[in-house]
Structure 1
């Protein structure tokens, strides 16, 4: 009988009064790739640390295959000392030991043979040299044996394998020989991951391995894991990655597990079928309890006491079944925040555009005469490898970086909300509730609490200081503050970073139905498939538009990759660089911009009057002003062109 690589039996772990793990059991077999999923705080990392002996379980057993070698990627990086190649090579300590012995033998043989670099005509040896004759022959034999062992173990191809893995994971060539202290957090993660993948382990335990990886690097990792002959236990919030890799999914929820074979999408389907079954059964039991109680009351009214008691016992049996069904509340309940997006103004004209846009940092070119057009209501995903300039592009559009050539900007009339990768708050000592009220002082305390509840801030959570919030909580709070302002355009830089699966799915559900414009940078392919209708890909310093989501962009699943040439041609209508204004009246342009600003202020004031009691004239006035604004922008574009 073949022994499982890893077996956990009835593992329990309690922190204070909270039972994090309640009788968890699982097995990992050779050739399996098991995904461990669940909300933040569900106990995934705790379970992994217990399996590795880094934390102690309260009860339960851990059984490992004999002499098993485990490769573990933690979220806490341990990279220091040498450069990227040297740090990765630490996975091959046996080969490095052989290499050190070979270098020592080479030194002894050089000394013994008299190869000291002496002048011609001298023997280079002394009569008293002990490393001659039989001893030198022994050194040569030892060297030959070790060299053969080194070659068979892949020592001579080691550096090439390391560099291939590091570049496959997206580490740039120039970073390969940089000292570890000069690597970014993402680059250190790649080094740590490469070291684990190359460790020749039988079981890989990976905690969020796709963090900091761009799409090409993630796809490389997927291919590696699919071909890995051992077992894999992976924690990840990357659903597309889990679809490509997982052969079994285990969800941790409220201390217990739900386990299904297949990838993540298959797991979701099976989970939903189970939830529907539990709810259908619950409703059936409720009906049976009610029906039998009604029959019993009829018997009682007819003074049929024996029949009454008999029927009440039947009702009690159904009630007992219903009570047992309620133990499956975690199955029947859907988790995740209920994110609500306000009604964005309808903007039919352009929201953002670029023409002849060029941007460099020193000698590093990011964009060279790039062009694009984003219209009101577009849902656009921006993709490209790390370092290609995606975040820089957003900064330019928002006016935060003006060191560029050509034209690139948001429309002056666009009211946008921005979610960056680094979430910053003005006062980290504020509570969650205080932050929302500071951003929206007109909000009542009760309304603020109701709104925060939609983002999973309940009870004592709203009194938490911002400084102690985890990454996902910070994102949820920032979204709560931003979305209450009803922006017309959402500018999102890796919006699913730090969010657990329920929060990601809730955000996507809200964005899918959003009437405004979305401009989102993302490496989350699942998000791109669900939330965007057009891809802007950074390719060869240009910005190329493709119709559809990620799968259409890549031509996956029988879909055709379609360049959105119509959108590219439309950029001809985008405003030209400001420098061209010199051929027109600068005064006329300034007057147009002033009139636009005045009318937009009127628009905002009119919009504030909307409501159930507002007269129809308010809406008519709003439409007239909006039409006038659009006409003025057309004139402005003509003057600028």
Structure 2
């Protein structure tokens, strides 16, 4: 499985963890937890062999299946089915079968004979790799996490970011890897898919390391917790389930606080006594001994745990605009023969709140990209109203320039900011010191979320287009985003699976895709949010 020994991990000059050792064995279902930016994603990359530590060693045995936060689906022309089957090398075998079947219909007898031989060899290879049962297994996994049958024979380029991420999750689950490393696996899954995934992971016989803010998933699956304490740069290992971990961690924090208080009291008594004795030459040596004992006492206790820092988020004061800053008329979008939606109309009035609902693949993200001017519709168009300033939060963070630094990304969005002002804003989003000079491409999902939110904050936008803004956030940061949504004075168009985000928005209207039905919001629509 995986053995970690005396690991040291850094982000630039910043120490994330030091002298860390642990083991992931068969049957260990580990929840890797800690605040955003603590180094969880960096650690999983190291465990997967995709990054190197600053010190120490990681050894592994058996196949590892790694799901990063950002989808990496390879060739955009590959079919969804083939991408999933490639986890066991079955994609090439299936393609050989298809090609042979085509050639077997040739009018040329020689071509038919060669095709028959190729078909027999490919069929034998398919059976050796699990046969048609393996294909059925791949299809069952895909269906269980919300990949519709019609998507299986479509090229990856026609899929949304959320759909591509589900394809990667299906591929890794189908791979049969002994150890699974899953970074936020429930992102973009609907409620039924999340329930299925909980059962699947709970029954996984190999090793599992999961990073997730889904408490239900952690409660259902985890029998071991690695808590990455960013303040102490250590990992605390708890060989217990999630609820027991929460109780034990609280007990441990109280114990550390009590031990430190006792040590400080004793050290102060020794120091005070030593200071009194130091004035007398005959007792100088004894005083020095007491000071050493006081120092040793304080070295033996852990530092007091500092409260985790949370990004302070307040969306901008919206720039002045007309009564209806954004209007969309008769929008439609297709990818080849696949019609995503058609004849969608939407008028976004000043200060209005609209939530967009629809099943996965209904075109919600596609619509948002069209409204933001990133993509073009096939018909109709978007009409900007007087004074329109759009702030677009993309769920896959594709609006960030990954080749530029954190600071450069912010400055490109708000060129009026001085270097000092920009660094001050970044500091409030927990990018301090050298963090501002890191390329955006090396940031974790949570860090990219914070940077994208920082860009919104300095945008002075009067219409915010928010596509899953609470993904990848720890609970405290999520609450900051919800508070910012509640108090923002401009218009918001929101896509989310997070019922709390909808409650914070207090929408006045709902747009349901792919039909494009617009209606006044009522509490009856709330049941659709987790299915969206």
The bucket for the TM-score relative to the shorter chain is: 0.5 to 0.7
Match of 1:495 in 2: 469
**How many Å separate the matches in 1 of 2:46 and 2:437?**
32
Give yes or no for contact 2:5–2:58 (8 Å, CA) kept in 1.
Answer: yes
**How many Å separate the matches in 2 of 1:50 and 1:91?**
21
Superposed CA offset, 1:366-413 (max 9, x none): 4789999999697x764433332434655787899899999x999989
Could you tell me how far 1:225 is from its partner in structure 2? 1.9
Say which SS state the counterpart of residue 150 (structure 2) adopts. Answer: helix
**How many Å separate the matches in 2 of 1:414 and 1:42?**
38
**How many Å separate the matches in 2 of 1:429 and 1:55?**
20
Among 233, 241, 259, the residue aligned to 2:237 = 259
Among 13, 22, 30, the residue aligned to 1:26 = 22
Match of 2:153 in 1: 177
Bigger Rg, structure 1 or 2: 1
Say which SS state the counterpart of residue 178 (structure 1) adopts. Answer: coil
Superposed CA offset, 1:113-169 (max 9, x none): xxx9xxxxxxxxxxxxxxxxxxxxxxxxxx9xx99x959x96344433322222333
Among 307, 312, 321, the residue aligned to 1:338 = 312
Match of 1:85 in 2: 81
Matched, 1:226 2:202: yes
Give yes or no for contact 1:417–1:489 (8 Å, CA) kept in 2.
Answer: yes
Give yes or no for contact 1:429–1:465 (8 Å, CA) kept in 2.
Answer: yes
Match of 2:414 in 1: 439
- Runs of 5+ in structure 2 lacking a partner? 101-108, 110-119
Matched, 1:167 2:146: no
Q: What aligned pairs does 1:317-466 form with structure 2 within 5 A after superposition?
A: 317=293, 320-325=296-301, 327-328=302-303, 331-341=305-315, 360-361=332-333, 364=339, 366=341, 382-391=356-365, 394=368, 417-421=391-395, 422=397, 424=399, 432=407, 435-436=410-411, 439=414, 441=416, 446-462=420-436
Match of 2:222 in 1: 246
Cα gap change, 1:475 to 1:46, in 2 (>3 Å)? closer
Cα gap change, 1:38 to 1:98, in 2 (>3 Å)? same
Match of 1:199 in 2: 175
Q: What aligned pairs does 1:555-574 form with structure 2 within 5 A after superposition?
A: none
Of structures 1 and 2, the one with the larger relative CO (CA 8 A, separation 6+) is 2
- Runs of 5+ in structure 1 lacking a partner? 105-115, 117-142, 556-641
Cα gap change, 1:551 to 1:259, in 2 (>3 Å)? farther
**How many Å separate the matches in 1 of 2:386 and 2:216?**
37
Among 31, 34, 50, the residue aligned to 1:35 = 31
Give yes or no for contact 1:23–1:60 (8 Å, CA) kept in 2.
Answer: no
Cα gap change, 1:203 to 1:485, in 2 (>3 Å)? closer
**How many Å separate the matches in 1 of 2:448 and 2:527?**
30
Match of 2:106 in 1: none
Give yes or no for contact 2:357–2:513 (8 Å, CA) kept in 1.
Answer: no
Give yes or no for contact 1:351–1:376 (8 Å, CA) kept in 2.
Answer: no
Give yes or no for contact 1:423–1:475 (8 Å, CA) kept in 2.
Answer: no
Say which SS state the counterpart of residue 251 (structure 1) adopts. Answer: strand
**How many Å separate the matches in 1 of 2:340 and 2:52?**
52
Cα gap change, 1:494 to 1:244, in 2 (>3 Å)? farther
**How many Å separate the matches in 2 of 1:423 and 1:99?**
32
Could you tell me how far 1:206 is from its partner in structure 2? 2.9
**How many Å separate the matches in 1 of 2:366 and 2:96?**
46
Cα gap change, 1:256 to 1:358, in 2 (>3 Å)? same
Give yes or no for contact 1:215–1:385 (8 Å, CA) kept in 2.
Answer: no
Cα gap change, 1:256 to 1:527, in 2 (>3 Å)? farther
Could you tell me how far 1:34 is from its partner in structure 2? 1.3
Among 487, 493, 500, the residue aligned to 1:514 = 487
Give yes or no for contact 1:358–1:366 (8 Å, CA) kept in 2.
Answer: no
Cα gap change, 1:433 to 1:399, in 2 (>3 Å)? closer
Aligned length: 494
Could you tell me how far 1:439 is from its partner in structure 2? 2.5
